[in-house]
Chain A
């Protein structure tokens, strides 16, 4: 089923179309949520909320751009909401994670790099606004213009956040360079 047909069926509340949409975009959305929220648990909640809401809105919404952009934007919005409504637990969890990463110095960081995907770990060192632009661009496939609109910033700011985020990433990864 092509995207237009999917949207059309979705608007009629067809569960098969919804399933297909879910399987088509779940990885992209989950990746964006993970990168923004730095937590798999929260990312699961985020993607869950977006899809359930998306389902409930069948027949009531208009999708202006393509479906992927719409869903990626929705997940980014939801992730931002979740970060604004942080519970004390999430604050502390984040703090604890940061503490754990920093407490034993770079040696622990290096050990972690050994076991996890180094790029993802490095991405987690970027500030939220940089992570957001990078993941929306690379995983979500949004244009800088779309990202700028989504984040309420200028296109040039989106570009510079992207560039500076990559700069930071490279800096963190340099300690892992193997040759």
Chain B
């Protein structure tokens, strides 16, 4: 467990830096604002398109490709042959249509990261192969109108029919391009033509400089073979206002005689499962099929899953049990694979609205209230269906789209129905869930869940893949011990949040100015007027002592508290030896008894110190005391013996007595001697005049 101080330090260190782009934008807009303020009408407008190029995930790794596609697809054709001396797009297109294959290798560089994407295009047969930087292989046959896509994460080849909209042209992604082209009309361009030689080939370099009127400038460079009119190379660069290169993408072209014949030529394994969507199964039918699967699972008692995930070379294991009728949920996971056999355990008891969390490093179980809105973790099959059904409208409005499809596949000599559920936004897949279903029982037997680009914008990209296997037993665990929590683990119960709200509310209402405190000590029988602050802020006093210690835990089985309808809170503290003055504080614990029926006054405090206290089984609690010495300690009890109320009705402690055994070997059996009596008086009390 992290103590407050170190946690606060960690939090302080957790800071987020603004990006250079944001700095530029804000400072620029501040400048505009200042100019406005000075009645200067000159204002600069942001350029959303170029900003989108900068930020768009699709262009993150292949800006060059997108920009080049724009050029080849339409931008140049708008201008025609800009200069009589330049090689026109029409010439380039004509030359390219005569080559057997065109191979493009696209390299994007951004923030020092490289990413490569390769394309093989056969113009006459309208075939297009792509291998992405993630290892995905796509083959589109525009004549037969079929698209194959191999996903290496699940080793499945998906075969789908091309939509009528899909045309063979180098113009993707369409939406973004359209916008850019529209924007382009409003921009200033400068075309530079240079000629030279490379490997004895005469080349022409066409450089298009785009002044975005923003803080970003674009430069697109095409290298064309003058004789063959074929593209040799292209690159795009984005610069900031200081001329620094922000992003770069390069494309090299070559024209091999042979290209890939099929997906396998590009490295797809022979054992990849071919999945062909049955065109006779509509989306509605797929939903109904999935609904039947979910219903079947909900007819069971228990779902037991075994989960594995691999990341950064480590394998994460987990296991879960869900009791369907109550939603109660058990979970065990090896949280740090390097530390073998350390299982972290959790039990979500929806019946009693409590969570039990076992921390193997502390060997303790924390019990805490479950928030009312806590939904917990449902079995994976719940959520995709819920997304499709319950949240469809919200998601649609937000631009999310869920797709569901059912197909039949053979996998490891078993026939399964496969239900695939995908979640998209901005044409980007966010999540894919593949569920293998026994066609006879309608039960999910295995699932693969892939989360793309998690953890979102802050992460380093990539995604997670979690595989699960399922069984449906009749019986499951009953408590956290059944899934492996040691019986000797310490148990701590957290305090409800509302407790502190009420506690401090009443404490604040206590107007100290109107109260006086008179104390009679054991040694001095004369009354002494002492500081009332002790009542309000005293650590071990009565009334409303400071309960700042975050190690406070609720003790729900304290007999005294239960018999007197009180709330019992416990605070443990470590022993301490001061080597300078050779004094020591024994390790101990404080029990606070709070009366919720009397404005949350603390009515009793019991302090036990013990030289060999071992409350949490942690050596640090006793490390500073001599463990060879005899056990010794003390009990101190402060108790409110009389209560009273102000005219406004607020309760306050009237008479407080302090008892102590003193520090001794036999303190557990020693009598408790009265040490002092404190009397709280309201202003105007006759006793004060005496």
Contact = CB atoms under 8 A, between A and B. Distances in A.
Given A44-B18, A154-B508, A58 B497 contact: no
B532 to A, nearest CB: 18
A43 interface: yes
Contacts of A100: 430-431, 451, 454
Contact of A15 (B16, B23, B31): B31
Given A107-B307, A171-B366, A31 B27 contact: no
Contacts, number: 229
Contact of B8 (A43, A108, A110, A138): A138
Interface string A54-70: 01101100000000000
Interface size class of A (residues with CB under 8 A): 35 or more
A81 interface: no
Contacts of B298: none
A31 B458 CA distance: 13
Contacts of A160: 497, 500-501, 503-504
Nearest to B9: A138
A50 to B, nearest CB: 9
Interface in A130-167: 134, 138-139, 154, 156-157, 159-160, 163-164, 166-167
Interface stretch (B84-92, B258-266, B397-405, B636-644): B397-405
A18 B30 contact: yes
Contacts of B318: 105-107
B395 interface: yes
Interface stretch (B32-40, B105-113, B241-249, B597-605): B32-40
A178 B22 CA distance: 36
B383 A99 contact: yes
A5 interface: no
Contact of A105 (B18, B331, B395): B331
Interface in A73-122: 88-89, 91-93, 95-97, 99-100, 102-108, 110-112, 114-117, 119-121
Given A92-B394, A170-B7, A102 B375 contact: yes
Contact of B36 (A51, A56, A117, A178): A56
A52 interface: yes
Interface in B407-465: 423, 425, 430-431, 449, 451, 454-460, 464
Interface residues of B, number: 87
B346 A91 contact: no
B16 A40 contact: yes
Interface string B12-54: 1011111100110111011101101110000000000000000
Interface string B193-234: 000000000000000000000000000000000000000000
B459 A176 contact: no
A30 B336 CA distance: 32
A3 interface: no
A91 B399 CA distance: 12
B316 interface: yes
A169 B29 CA distance: 37
Contact of A119 (B14, B335, B500): B14
Given A48-B26, A123-B11, 15 more contacts: A13-B34, A27-B15, A40-B16, A52-B33, A55-B29, A93-B398, A95-B391, A102-B376, A106-B318, A110-B335, A111-B316, A154-B508, A163-B500, A163-B550, A166-B4
Which 10 A-B pairs give the minimum distances between C-beta atoms? A92-B398, A156-B504, A160-B500, A105-B377, A55-B33, A55-B30, A107-B318, A89-B398, A88-B397, A112-B455
Interface of B: 1-2, 4, 7-8, 10-12, 14-19, 22-23, 25-27, 29-31, 33-34, 36-38, 307, 309, 311-312, 316, 318, 320, 331, 333, 335-336, 339, 344, 346, 357, 359, 361-362, 366, 368, 375-378, 380, 383, 387, 391, 394-395, 397-400, 423, 425, 430-431, 449, 451, 454-460, 464, 466, 494, 497, 500-501, 503-505, 507-508, 548, 550
